[in-house]
Homo-oligomer: A and B are copies of this chain.
Amino acid sequence: MPEIRKEITKGLWTILAPTRGERPFDFSSESGSKTDKEVDPNCPFCPGNESETPSEVSSIRTEKEDETSWMVRVFPNKFPALDSEGSSAVIEGDVFKSMGGLGYHEVLAETPRHDRELVDLSVEELELVIRTYLNRFRDLSEKPKIKYVSIFKNRGRQAGASLEHSHSQIMGTTFLPKMLQQEYDLAESYRNESGSCLYCDVIRAEKREEARVVLENDAFIVICPYGSRFPYETRVLPKRHSSVFSDLSNEERNQLSAALKRTLSALTERLGSFPYNFTFHTAPYGLSGGEPESEMSYHWHLEIMPRITTPAGFEWGTDNFINIVSPEKAAEELRRQVT
């Protein structure tokens, strides 16, 4: 059974999940390049193998009756970091604090095709993935005790993926992640001091300077952040001030799909088939409550982190970063690849 423990000297929660260690790995090569089969009979995420995953929680299908005719499919992680049947009991010692391992950990198969990556999907197919993120974000946010829903993707073995079939993960946690709490606090302080949204001001400044802008469309702007931690780190931000991911309009959902497609394509043109993580950063769904969304200081966005270098002792010992590619160089190279 998982357990959530406080690392009291660093002010963060660690999830202890021994059963995660039992999960299978299927990468056929060290570099993480895939077989070219449309369906891999040994892949638990491929159509026809639905019985190898826990029961589906959500899907988008072309034909309602056929189990294998899904476009996007969500199911609980077979080797979950958190347990939907777990306890939420809190044990408060003087220096040792823990919580039961209650939480949700789902897998989203982004395409039935084993031979496709997220970047290979059409804008229309990507839009189904994003629609499903929104569905799971809302649904898990409304579960009792859940404080935050993390939506993320690990692509490639070097980025921590264990299975090669293109997928994302969704975790609902009973704690607010440390990074989000810090981002909320910084956004709130900034607004208290300046009267404006930190992220809206960053967008204005990036548009003025141009050097770190990769692309934009009507609703989104994509930049390599000024203080980028990783080479080719890329951030996708809504141009309209919006705190919660699920406040996307239908039109904005289409625009996000288009911006993501162009961004992943440019990164792939520049870096080849590259390992990466991406994570949505958002205010919690429930946070808005009665308050008008526009009154909240946070500004949701997507962070894409190519994993082509290895964070080492300096990074793990300081929480600061050494980045060997300037964001101006990264953005300039990516702009050349944007179509």
Contact = CB atoms under 8 A, between A and B. Distances in A.
7 contacts: A7-B228, A16-B323, A18-B326, A95-B202, A150-B318, A182-B319, A279-B316
A41 interface: no
A9 B186 contact: yes
Contacts of A311: 160, 311
Interface string A1-34: 0010111111111111111110000000010000
A278 interface: yes
Q: Please classify the interface of chain A as helix (H, G, I), strand (E, B), loop, or mixed, using the class held by over half of its residues.
A: mixed
A183 B11 CA distance: 8
Given A15-B320, A321-B14, A226 B158 contact: no
Interface centre among A21, A30, A160 (most CB of B within 10 A): A160
A265 interface: no
A53 to B, nearest CB: 20
B202 A8 contact: yes
A89 interface: no
- Copies of this chain, how many? 2
Contact of A227 (B6, B20, B182): B6
A177 B310 CA distance: 19
A152 interface: yes
A94 B205 contact: yes
A11 B199 CA distance: 14
A320 B93 contact: no
B229 A7 contact: yes
